[in-house]
């Protein structure tokens, strides 16, 4: 039985009185009971607009076509039914999981209360059952925690529990596993597939990572510039894609097999000849060989970190890092990988001197970190979300100029300052005309380039990349990774990459440290660790990720 049947569905937005932008252009697909449809495409392809417009969540959208939903054993058109009926269907029969849980969760309510708000059964037992289903085993702590007290992956699992609480007929999941490490991602996908079969729940699963659908989706629809260009079974699309764009999505992905090579970018793989798109297999281009220095520039020895909470007369200790040892040589790209809550970001905060270790030593150039007066000249940070890293009210040229001025007070004219900023923009692949633009005028990949330019403004020796490419489309990810490799070679940079994606880490890094529950499980040279893993946890990560 069809739960959702979409016919010739279009979505547009009025730009002016005479002009309309067509975001979705006459797409058609259907989802049956217990079926999972993967909708894949890059940012701007129209997949999220389509998924939200299906239930008229976007107020100013101009919609046409039919969206037939199975309500009370007969199909109703969600585009034409009255608002009261649509509200009841949204409330009881369709659930959404969004990509960014921090903006979707209420910061003033505990996670347990927010989950129970969505459930018909308002019991603690049912709440605990939902939390256990999404692998949140510390049910009492999670249910009493506010969103900011949980990690990004834990918050996303809370969102999934909320979506499952009302046992919907249709679940629309918009990039729900982007923030999760690969092992938990696989568990969540397996859970969603199991629930889909048991509850006969249809799932529309939106993602930019084609290979994440392997073993999960029944069918895949590939979206490109507002059109669905290819539909097929999971095996057909992944093993033998027909459309040039589908082929390019797979080819541009970072994997261990492409280690030591420049990643192919989608624009280089696709060619438009008289309106016909074609795919051209790229030539293999090797990265220039580099010999890293034997000099240790950053060293962590026997690092312990605990958080303390006082309640009445008792003090509770939570240990988040236990006996961490780490050495970073000049020119290294060190990958720090582990599940959410493993301590990766805690290590970054200690290295940046945002937090102090409970015990142990951190030395930069053989000097204790606490004795360095201006650490920003040595280490810079690039965050996961570039949009929240930039002030929306400041032009990006001025934002970078502020950083430049803190380093070089001798710049005596606005022209010289602007020239310096323009040089930084050009180094990261942007242009002089971008100087006077605001953050919202750029794509996600361009905003991440701006953040990299800000980090370069102080000429640091080390750049900490905290999930800096995790939220990017595979094609944009390829561009940013190629840029980072170029900058490393040109400026002699050293990187610490924090990530949950073993494919990216195994491609980009020459050394890897694997963390779990605040401890180093395994560490070593990338090639040795990938080919000869010692721990069961490492083997599990590799099983779920290396393609």
CATH at residue 401:
3.40.50.300
Q: H/E/C letters for each residue in 445-477?
A: HHHHHHHHHHHHCCCCCEEEEECCCCCCCHHHH
Tokens of 449: 């380039």
Task: Look at residue 187 and tell me if it is in a domain.
Answer: yes
Asked if residue 103 and residue 206 are part of one domain, the reply reads yes
Task: Look at residue 257 and tell me if it is in a domain.
Answer: no
Tokens of 182: 């690969």
Asked if residue 337 and residue 232 are part of one domain, the reply reads no
Task: Choose the final residue of a domain: 217, 239, 261.
Answer: 239
Asked if residue 234 and residue 342 are part of one domain, the reply reads no
Task: Look at residue 263 and tell me if it is in a domain.
Answer: no
Task: Choose the final residue of a domain: 239, 260, 290.
Answer: 239
Asked if residue 205 and residue 353 are part of one domain, the reply reads no
Q: Average pLDDT for residues 21-36, to the nearest whole number?
A: 94
Asked if residue 65 and residue 199 are part of one domain, the reply reads yes
Q: What are phi and psi of 90, to 5 degrees?
A: -60, -40
Determine the Cα–Cα distance for residues 254 and 509; give it in Å rounded to an integer: 12
Q: Which of 62, 93, 60, 59 is nearest to 76 (CA)?
A: 93
Distances (CA, A) of 60 to 15, 17, 53, 57, 166: 11, 14, 10, 9, 28
Asked if residue 227 and residue 354 are part of one domain, the reply reads no
The percent of residues above 90 in pLDDT, for the chain, comes to 50
Asked if residue 496 and residue 348 are part of one domain, the reply reads yes
Q: Which of 406, 372, 384, 383 is nearest to 298 (CA)?
A: 372
**According to the model, what pLDDT value does residue 7 have?**
95
- Number of domains into which the chain is organized: 2
Gyration radius (Cα) of the chain, Å: 24
Write the pLDDT tens digit of every residue in 62-84.
999 999 999 988 899 999 999 99
Task: Look at residue 259 and tell me if it is in a domain.
Answer: no
Residue 243, SS3 per DSSP = coil
Which residue range(s) make up the domain with 35?
2-239
**According to the model, what pLDDT value does residue 25 have?**
94
**According to the model, what pLDDT value does residue 33 have?**
94
Task: Look at residue 425 and tell me if it is in a domain.
Answer: yes
Q: Rounded to two decimals, what is the model's pTM?
A: 0.82
Task: Look at residue 307 and tell me if it is in a domain.
Answer: no
Q: Which of 147, 169, 155 is nearest to 31 (CA)?
A: 169
Q: Contact at 8 Å (CB) between 226 and 46? A: yes
Write the pLDDT tens digit of every residue in 273-319.
877 888 888 788 888 877 777 889 999 999 999 988 776 667 778 88
**According to the model, what pLDDT value does residue 408 have?**
67
Determine the Cα–Cα distance for residues 490 and 487; give it in Å rounded to an integer: 5
Task: Look at residue 313 and tell me if it is in a domain.
Answer: no
Task: Choose the final residue of a domain: 239, 270, 297.
Answer: 239
Counting other chains too, the contacts that 428-436 makes at CB distance below 8 Å and 24 or more residues apart are 428/452, 428/453, 428/456, 428/483, 428/487, 429/479, 429/483, 434/396, 434/397, 435/395, 435/396, 435/397, 436/395, 436/397
Determine the Cα–Cα distance for residues 130 and 226; give it in Å rounded to an integer: 36
Distances (CA, A) of 380 to 55, 238, 452, 454: 43, 38, 9, 9
pLDDT band at 160 (very low <50, low <70, confident <90, very high): confident
Asked if residue 178 and residue 36 are part of one domain, the reply reads yes
Question: Which is more confidently placed, 375 or 120?
Answer: 375
Asked if residue 351 and residue 212 are part of one domain, the reply reads no
Task: Look at residue 248 and tell me if it is in a domain.
Answer: no
Asked if residue 338 and residue 215 are part of one domain, the reply reads no
Write the pLDDT tens digit of every residue in 360-378.
999 999 999 988 988 988 9
């Amino acid at each position: 039985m069809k739960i959702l049947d979409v016919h010739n569905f279009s979505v547009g937005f009025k730009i002016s009185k005479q002009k309309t932008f067509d975001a979705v252009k006459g797409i058609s697909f259907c989802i049956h009971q217990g079926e999972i449809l993967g909708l894949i495409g890059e940012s701007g392809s129209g997949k999220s607009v389509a998924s939200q417009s299906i239930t008229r969540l976007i107020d100013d959208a101009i919609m046409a076509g039919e969206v037939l939903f199975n309500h009370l054993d007969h199909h109703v058109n969600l585009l034409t039914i009255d608002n009261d009926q649509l509200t009841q269907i949204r409330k009881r029969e369709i659930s959404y999981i969004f990509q960014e849980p921090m903006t979707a969760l209420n910061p003033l309510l505990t996670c347990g209360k927010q989950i129970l708000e969505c459930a018909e059964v308002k019991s603690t037992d049912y709440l605990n059952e939902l939390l256990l289903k999404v692998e949140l085993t510390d049910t009492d702590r999670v249910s009493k925690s506010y969103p900011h007290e949980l990690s990004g992956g834990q918050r996303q699992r809370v969102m999934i529990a909320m979506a499952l609480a009302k046992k919907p007929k249709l679940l629309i999941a918009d990039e729900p596993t982007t923030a999760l490490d690969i092992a938990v991602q696989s568990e969540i996908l397996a859970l969603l597939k199991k629930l889909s079969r048991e509850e006969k729940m249809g799932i529309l699963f939106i993602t930019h990572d084609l290979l994440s659908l392997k073993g999960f989706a029944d069918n895949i629809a590939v979206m490109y510039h507002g059109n669905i260009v290819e539909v097929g079974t999971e095996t057909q699309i992944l093993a033998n894609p027909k459309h040039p764009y589908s082929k390019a999505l797979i080819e541009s992905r970072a994997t261990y097999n492409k280690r030591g090579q420049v990643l192919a970018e989608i624009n280089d793989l696709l060619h438009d000849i008289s309106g016909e798109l074609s795919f051209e297999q790229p030539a293999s281009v090797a990265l220039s060989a580099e010999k890293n220095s034997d000099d240790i520039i950053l060293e962590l020895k026997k690092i312990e970190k605990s958080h303390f909470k006082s309640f009445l007369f008792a003090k509770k200790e939570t240990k988040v890092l236990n006996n961490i040892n780490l050495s970073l040589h000049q020119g290294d790209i060190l990958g720090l990988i582990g599940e959410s809550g493993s301590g990766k970001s805690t290590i970054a905060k200690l290295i940046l001197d945002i937090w102090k270790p409970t015990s142990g030593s951190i030395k930069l150039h053989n000097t204790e970190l606490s004795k360095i007066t201006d650490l920003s000249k040595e280490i810079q940070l690039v965050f996961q979300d570039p949009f929240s890293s930039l002030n929306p009210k400041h032009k990006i040229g001025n934002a970078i100029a502020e950083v430049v001025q803190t380093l070089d007070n001798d710049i005596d004219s606005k022209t010289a300052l602007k020239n310096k900023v323009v040089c930084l923009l050009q180094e990261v692949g942007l242009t002089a005309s971008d100087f006077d633009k605001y953050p919202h005028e750029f794509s996600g990949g361009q905003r991440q380039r701006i953040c990299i330019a800000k980090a370069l403004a102080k000429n640091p020796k080390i750049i900490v990349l905290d999930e800096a490419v995790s939220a990017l489309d595979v094609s944009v990810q390829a561009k940013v990774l190629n840029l980072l490799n170029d900058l490393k070679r040109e400026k002699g940079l050293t990187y610490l990459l924090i990530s949950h994606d073993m494919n990216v880490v195994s491609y980009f890094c020459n050394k890897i440290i694997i963390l779990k529950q605040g401890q180093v499980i395994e560490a070593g040279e990338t090639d040795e660790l990938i080919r000869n893993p010692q721990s069961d946890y490492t083997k599990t990560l590799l099983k779920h990720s290396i393609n």
